[in-house]
Structure 1
């Protein structure tokens, strides 16, 4: 493992952990400013380092990183440029959940490539075990995203 891959992996794992903390805050209508800033910074760093890692060809992970960067652009704008006003609150929540999901999606894909027991179940990544796990995770994130959008409301709206 090269130093670049090692750093990328550590940054990715920390982004995922901070992302779950932020998601828990969304469920409680808490902004968690520090955690959110670190999650967004580390998610951007994960995607940027994922794009620039040496590869012989354009890989699906590069496409995911580019998509993640576009999502993160809107998420950061919603949070820091538009201060969660109006529809930007929903864009922020959806973007944060999608960003976390994409990090977890790549984590699972990497696990199926690198962990021998998982690789044996899905050697090419197109077998049912891989698809089933990714499908379950996707459904879980759709549910979490729906709940986060519903629960992350301004404090004055929660009192009404």
Structure 2
């Protein structure tokens, strides 16, 4: 049991939080890349649910470092920077650029986990890449990485214009 939930229930909660974080993050970062700095409620939702995803990820039984654990370790400082830039510094000055980069990385890490889990858990995708090293999995990861680099670069450029 984790926080009073069975492992299955806790996993469902973690996945639901992650999906909200990803959906809100995509909208927020697309808006930021287009030059819209503050979508207050949605930006807060993105940051809070992304932090909750990371925190709940650390609450799963620990059997040594895994790629998911290491992703969480990288996510923590990115989220700390994004929170400080957004809530603390209100995106003033260079904080907007810090937010653009750190929030883009945090969203990418969520998407990385999402795509990885999709290929592990969804039977048709798993059939395409059972070991996670086959071309369909690698292409999906590469497309996502390139897209997030593009969003991050556009967000950084938009942050520096204002």
1:14-93 aligned at under 5 Å gives the runs 14-26=20-32, 27-93=34-100
Of 103, 112, 125, the match for 2:132: 125
CA deviation after TM superposition for structure 1 residue 118, in Å: 1.1
100-109 or 127-136: bigger deviation: 127-136
- 1:5 is aligned to 11
Matches of 1:83 and 1:151, distance apart in 2: 15
Q: Is the 8 A contact 2:28 2:43 kept in 1?
A: yes
Matches of 2:65 and 2:156, distance apart in 1: 34
Matches of 1:15 and 1:81, distance apart in 2: 20
Q: Is the 8 A contact 1:47 1:68 kept in 2?
A: yes
Matches of 2:81 and 2:37, distance apart in 1: 20
CA deviation after TM superposition for structure 1 residue 152, in Å: 3.7
Matches of 2:123 and 2:30, distance apart in 1: 32
After TM superposition, the runs of 4+ consecutive aligned structure 1 residues lying more than 3 A away are none
Q: Is the 8 A contact 2:94 2:160 kept in 1?
A: no
CA deviation after TM superposition for structure 1 residue 113, in Å: 0.3
Q: TM-score when scaled to structure 1?
A: 0.90
Q: TM-score when scaled to structure 2?
A: 0.89
Unpaired segments ≥5 residues, structure 2: 1-6
Structure 1, residues 16-39: CA drift from partner, whole Å, max 9, x if none? 111112113211323011111111
- The count of corresponding residues between Structure 1 and Structure 2 is 155
CA deviation after TM superposition for structure 1 residue 55, in Å: 4.3
Aligned Cα RMSD in Å? 1.6
